[in-house]
Amino acid sequence: MATPVKLPLTVRKSIRDEFEPAKAKCEEKISSTLGELWKIDFDIALVWGYANEAPPSNTYPRESTGNMLAEYANSAASGISNFADKFGSDGIAELNKLAPSRSIVLESYTTRVDGTCSCEIANEKLKIIFSPGDIGVNIDDALSKLSEAVNTASKNSDSVNLPFDTRKDIKENYESRVPGIESRLAQIIGVDKVGIVVDFHAIYATLLAYYEKDEQYSLQGFENALGSRTIEYLESLPSALERDGFDKDEMLQEALQEAISTRTVAVRLVEKLERNTYNETVIQDGKLYLQTVPKNWGVNTDQIANGIVDLL
């Protein structure tokens, strides 16, 4: 880490004339966007130390320190605004929760940073981080990966909670569509009500444990689409039942009513399938389960409910 040094008069003047006005405007904008009082808390003396450590070819941090810091402040305000526009009130609440100090700092990282400039949330702060020697480089990228930083911090902050991206996908692509599927199933089966129950924490934990053992799989492949994939499985059920004629055959309806006496449908992961290769439907203890194994999560989702009539 750079050693703080005394700032020359010209540097102090550029900070006063260029950075301080930008800082005030950006703090106001950020606070308005996030609904909380945020501050830009750059350690100026430390930053000047970083500037002196920049290679000779990178004169910008030393010759235009105030302007450089103003650019970082503007990049922070713009990045937070973009994040809030994309993720709305849920994203705003999550960011405020993960950074309770409500402060934005500027720090050199101990290793190379992807793109030379990025961000992270740590020690209750939102940090703009840059690779050693790269202060003032790619400033516009400062908060371009804020959503990834929020997601990473949300996983680290509470092991019981699902990552932010996962919760967002469940809310937007699962919760809003489940009532329609429940209503459609009840009509097809000929009952007053069908309940869909999904333990997302159990599915997430099982997938995470499996994917972490196999490097060919990307965590992002399920983290940001857990709700979406689950809905795909569930939407295949009424379609399969209609193909098999359940909606028009009282005998089939009565048989299914008797088999799923709890009127409950669930999606789950198991270690081994009983009948099929990729996924299958089973009926146990009065419940209908759409199930697959971790390796095949998201594969052939439209086939999971095929052949239900054979179970009756």
Mean pLDDT of the chain: 91
pLDDT band at 109 (very low <50, low <70, confident <90, very high): confident
Q: Report d(CA 64, CA 131) in Å as an integer.
A: 19
Which residue do the tokens 């089973």 mark? 282
The whole-number pLDDT of residue 301 equals: 93
Taking the alpha carbons of 280, 285, 231, 89 in that order, is the dihedral positive or negative? negative
The answer, yes or no, to whether residue 197 has pLDDT greater than 70, is yes
- State the pLDDT confidence band at 1, using cuts at 50, 70 and 90: very low
pLDDT category at 275 given cuts 50, 70, 90 is: confident
The residues, any chain, with a CB within 8 Å of residue 89's CB and separated by 6 or more, are: none
Output the pLDDT for position 111: 75
Residues 62-97 pLDDT 10s: 999 999 999 999 999 999 999 999 999 999 999 999
Query: pLDDT tens, 23-62?
Result: 999 999 999 999 999 999 999 999 998 998 888 888 999 9
Q: Which segments of 54-136 does DSSP mark as H helices, in order?
A: 60-63, 65-98
Q: For residue 20, what are the CA distances in angstroms to 72, 227, 232? A: 12, 45, 52
Cα 5 from Cα 89, distance rounded (Å): 41
Q: Which of 224, 77, 231, 85 is nearest to 155 (CA)?
A: 224
Residue that wins the pLDDT comparison between 19 and 57: 19
Dihedral (CA of 196, 202, 205, 207) sign? negative
Specify the DSSP class assigned to residue 118: E
CA atoms within a 13 Å half-sphere pointing along the CA-CB vector of 280: 15
CA distance 65 to 44: 9
pLDDT band for position 196 (50/70/90)? very high
**Mean pLDDT value across residues 160-173:** 88
Task: Report whether 221 contacts 167 (CB < 8 A).
Answer: no
- Domain borders along the chain are 9-157, 164-311
Q: What is the pLDDT of residue 160?
A: 58
pTM, two decimals, is 0.79
Mean pLDDT value of segment 135-154: 93
What is the distance between the alpha carbons of residues 125 and 113, in angstroms, rounded to a whole number? 18
Q: Quick check: 220 pLDDT over 90? A: no
What local confidence, expressed as pLDDT, does residue 200 receive? 95
> Per-residue pLDDT for 2 more than 60?
no
Q: Assign 158 a pLDDT band (cuts: 50, 70, 90).
A: low
Closest Cα to residue 194, out of 130, 281, 268, 256? Answer: 256
Tell me which residue of 132, 95, 92, 100 sits closest to 116, measured CA to CA. Answer: 132
C-alpha span between 28 and 186 (Å, rounded): 52
User: Span 222-233, mean pLDDT?
Assistant: 92
Per-residue pLDDT for 217 more than 60? no
| For range 175-189, the mean pLDDT | 96
> CB-based contacts of 231: which residues, under 8 Å, 6+ apart?
173, 174, 177, 178, 181
Amino acid at the residue 184: R
Q: What H or E segment, with its residue span, contains residue 117?
A: strand 117-122
Q: Which residue has 């059920």 as its token pair?
A: 237
